């Protein structure tokens, strides 16, 4: 192993690999390695300027047992930035320390004398590069020793019930309702960003941690240390970016359903809300208001005067957001030009098709700057110039017909090397063009590390309308926040409903809505059965042919439920100033609005194990009801005094209490001391 200090970075070279470790932000180090001639300069999620940082680099030797009873020396080097120190030994194995306490070490089980750990013949190394046949990329595996008793959080959104990810295997890939944001927070006081958009996998096993990239030219990860998760998020968002200030006029209700089919229907819903005395902040025009996918314009048959519609909605104080998909139907007026100019995703084999819902489609190649500019100019002309305020960037993973990532290729290379970055670049089509004209708030179904800085409200995807799925959404929101994404929402009641008249579904809707009131964005949405509403015409294209769901407005579920929904909307409005302050905190230091219990109480060991309640900011402890016909809840209260908002009764903390949870009330405690 050859060590050098090159302009403040520790460089290690061995067996064709170059390893570079350098300071990157407060108490943080960036680790890169390659089998190529040189380290590439792309920063991926590490987009923010860090300024000059002087690290301490030491290169020396350490004793080494040779095996014949004698002791030799081998090279060793270390780099220190504040509270974090990395040590690299002669075999290239990295050990990371926080305040001189070992927190992470690469997993190495090959014969190197004292490194053998009793496993001389396994030949398992810490960084494994396997060349992909016929290409310049490698399949990369990076392994770390496990830490017994460690808990791991973050990583974005996976549809499962586990908040603590220790023991989980997670695909590093984007899918509908799955969002890979590869930043993990450890209970041992460190955070690790896998700064690589390649498709892969991570396993947080009891016997080892293993990160893989199926095709990449470079290893790239970043580690920070701090005393508590709040400081880890602050360090992380300082180098990846923070959300802007969320507009106060969008902190109320967003009204949506699948789908408003006509201009008249949108206006009738808005007028009814005004008659009911309910102020909504945003109304959402969902998919297939267009002619065909890729035309990106209103179907004039059912939307004859969008400008007049928008003007009336604006007069009521309602903003308008429209659904945009990245798919381009072969029937689209733009398809041939975009295909000819290379603005669409390419396939490696067979027919040129990437998506097949309601048409034979190919999706746009957002890695091509010309494609981004082309789509923006069309959407500006057909939407923004008519007064549309925001864009709902659906299918933003993108939603492939088949998730065979080795079948697709982008302008910068194979999808396997970079596909996880797709949703972020998709959002930047609109953010980059709109950021200078005011607040940018667009709705997306996916994101990646750093997406928080591009005006993204990310929702949890097309999830079932079940209590089990509802329970999963809590950990989705909490782990998204711990991965640096504070603007998060979910479909109230779930997306897929068979029968809106089912009393069990209506109970689920109420419980989900109560949770959504104490979350960043309150948004009614869903595909509501039964599907007995006839189409508007018999064409196989345009705004009239596709089905629509049942009504999904607050008054759509009976008078008793309407009263509960209105009661909780009043609660939401009463929290306006508090929610505004939470958004300001997210902007200032990266803190999520939806917080795991340990985020506010890191010194309380019980809070690290609780997964069915959360903090909404620092003041409100929220205990959603996740079971049908459950009308009481056990709630753990950390030390201090807590007021039950239903009754005003004050409880001493440091214990679990059982409180009533009738259908019109979800237990919420206010922290008063």
- As annotated, the active-site residues are 394, 397, 462
What are all long-range contacts of 243-246, with beta carbons under 8 Å and residues at least 24 apart?
A: 243/452, 243/453, 243/486, 243/487, 243/583, 243/586, 243/587, 244/439, 244/440, 244/453, 244/455, 244/587, 245/439, 245/583, 245/584, 245/587, 246/439, 246/441, 246/487, 246/520, 246/580, 246/583, 246/586, 246/587
- Do residues 653 and 641 touch, judged by C-beta distance below 8 A? yes
DSSP, res 119 = -
**Nearest C-alpha neighbor of 179 from the set 435, 477, 499:** 477
Strand order in the sheet with 200-204: 127-131, 138-144, 209-216, 200-204, 169-172
Phi/psi at 496 (5° precision): -105, 105
The H or E element containing residue 315 is helix 306-315
**Which two structure tokens, joined as six digits, stand for 325?**
């998909």
DSSP, res 370 = H
Angle at CA of residue 614, ends 161 and 568, nearest 5°: 105
Which CA distances in Å does 99 have to 102, 117, 190, 311, 329? 8, 25, 11, 59, 57
Q: How far apart are CA 213 and CA 233, in angstroms?
A: 25
- Do residues 494 and 508 touch, judged by C-beta distance below 8 A? yes
Q: List all residues 6 or more positions away from 393 whose beta carbon is below 8 Å from its beta carbon.
A: 324, 326, 423, 426, 427, 430, 442, 443, 444, 445
Q: How far is CA 251 from the centre of its chain?
A: 20
DSSP, res 124 = B
């Amino acid at each position: 192993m050859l060590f050098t200090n090159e302009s403040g970075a520790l460089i290690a070279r061995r067996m064709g690999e170059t390893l570079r470790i350098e300071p990157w932000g407060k108490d943080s180090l960036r680790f890169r390695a390659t089998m190529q001639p040189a380290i590439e300069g792309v920063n991926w999620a590490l987009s923010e300027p860090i300024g000059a940082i002087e690290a301490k680099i030491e290169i020396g030797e350490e004793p080494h047992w040779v095996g014949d009873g004698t002791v030799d020396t081998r090279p060793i080097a270390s780099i220190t930035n504040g509270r974090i120190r990395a040590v690299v030994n002669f075999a290239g194995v990295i050990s990371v320390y926080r305040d001189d306490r070992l927190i992470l070490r690469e997993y190495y089980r090959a014969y190197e004398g004292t490194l053998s750990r009793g496993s001389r013949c396994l030949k398992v190394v810490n960084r494994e590069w396997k060349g992909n046949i016929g290409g310049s990329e490698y399949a990369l595996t990076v392994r770390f020793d496990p830490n017994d008793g460690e808990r791991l959080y973050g990583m974005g959104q996976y549809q499962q019930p586990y908040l603590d990810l220790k023991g989980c295997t997670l695909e590093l890939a984007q899918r509908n309702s799955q969002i890979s944001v590869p930043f993990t927070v450890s209970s041992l006081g460190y955070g690790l960003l896998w700064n690589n958009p390649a498709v892969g996998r991570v396993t947080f096993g009891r016997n080892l941690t293993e990160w893989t990239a199926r095709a990449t030219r470079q290893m790239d990860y970043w580690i920070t240390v701090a005393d508590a998760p709040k400081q880890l998020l602050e360090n992380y968002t300082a180098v990846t970016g923070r959300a802007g200030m969320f507009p106060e006029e969008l902190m109320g209700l967003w009204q949506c359903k699948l789908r408003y089919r006509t201009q008249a229907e949108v206006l009738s819903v808005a007028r009814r809300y005004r008659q009911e005395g309910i102020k909504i902040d945003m109304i959402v025009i969902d998919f297939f208001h267009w002619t065909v996918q890729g035309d990106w314009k209103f179907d004039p048959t059912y939307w004859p005067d969008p400008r007049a519609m928008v003007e009336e909605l604006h007069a009521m104080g309602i903003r308008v957001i429209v659904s945009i998909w990245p798919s381009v139907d072969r029937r689209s007026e733009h398809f041939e030009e975009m295909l000819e100019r290379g603005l669409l995703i390419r396939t490696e084999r067979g027919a040129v098709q990437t998506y097949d819902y309601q048409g034979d489609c190919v999706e746009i190649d957002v890695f091509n700057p010309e494609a981004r500019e082309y789509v923006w100019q069309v959407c500006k002309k057909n939407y923004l110039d008519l007064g549309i305020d925001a864009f709902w960037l659906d299918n933003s993973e993108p939603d492939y017909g088949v998730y065979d990532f080795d079948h697709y290729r982008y302008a910068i290379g194979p999808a396997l090397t970079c596909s996880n970055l797709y949703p972020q670049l998709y959002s930047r089509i609109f953010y980059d063009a709109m950021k200078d004209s005011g607040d940018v708030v667009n709705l997306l179904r996916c994101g990646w590390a750093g997406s928080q800085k591009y005006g993204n409200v990310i929702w949890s995807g097309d999830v079932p309308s079940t209590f089990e799925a509802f329970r999963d959404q809590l950990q989705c929101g909490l782990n998204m926040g711990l991965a640096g994404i504070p603007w998060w929402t979910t479909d109230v009641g779930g997306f897929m409903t068979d029968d809106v008249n089912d009393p069990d579904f209506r109970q689920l809707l109420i419980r989900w809505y109560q949770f959504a009131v104490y979350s960043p964005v309150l948004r009614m949405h869903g595909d509501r059965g039964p599907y007995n509403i006839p189409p508007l015409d018999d064409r196989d294209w345009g705004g009239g042919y596709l089905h629509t769901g049942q009504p999904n407005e607050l008054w759509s579920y009976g008078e008793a439920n309407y009263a509960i929904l209105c009661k909780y909307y009043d609660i939401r409005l009463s929290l306006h100033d508090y929610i505004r302050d939470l958004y300001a905190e997210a902007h200032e230091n990266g803190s999520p609005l939806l917080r795991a219990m340990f985020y506010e109480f890191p010194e309380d060991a019980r809070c690290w194990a609780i997964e069915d309640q959360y903090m909404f900011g620092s003041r409100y402890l929220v205990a959603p009801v996740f079971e049908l016909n459950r009308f009481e809840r056990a709630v753990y209260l950390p030390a201090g005094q807590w007021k039950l908002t239903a009754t005003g009764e004050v409880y001493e903390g440091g214990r679990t209490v059982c409180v009533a949870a009738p259908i019109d009330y979800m237990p919420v405690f206010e922290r008063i001391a």
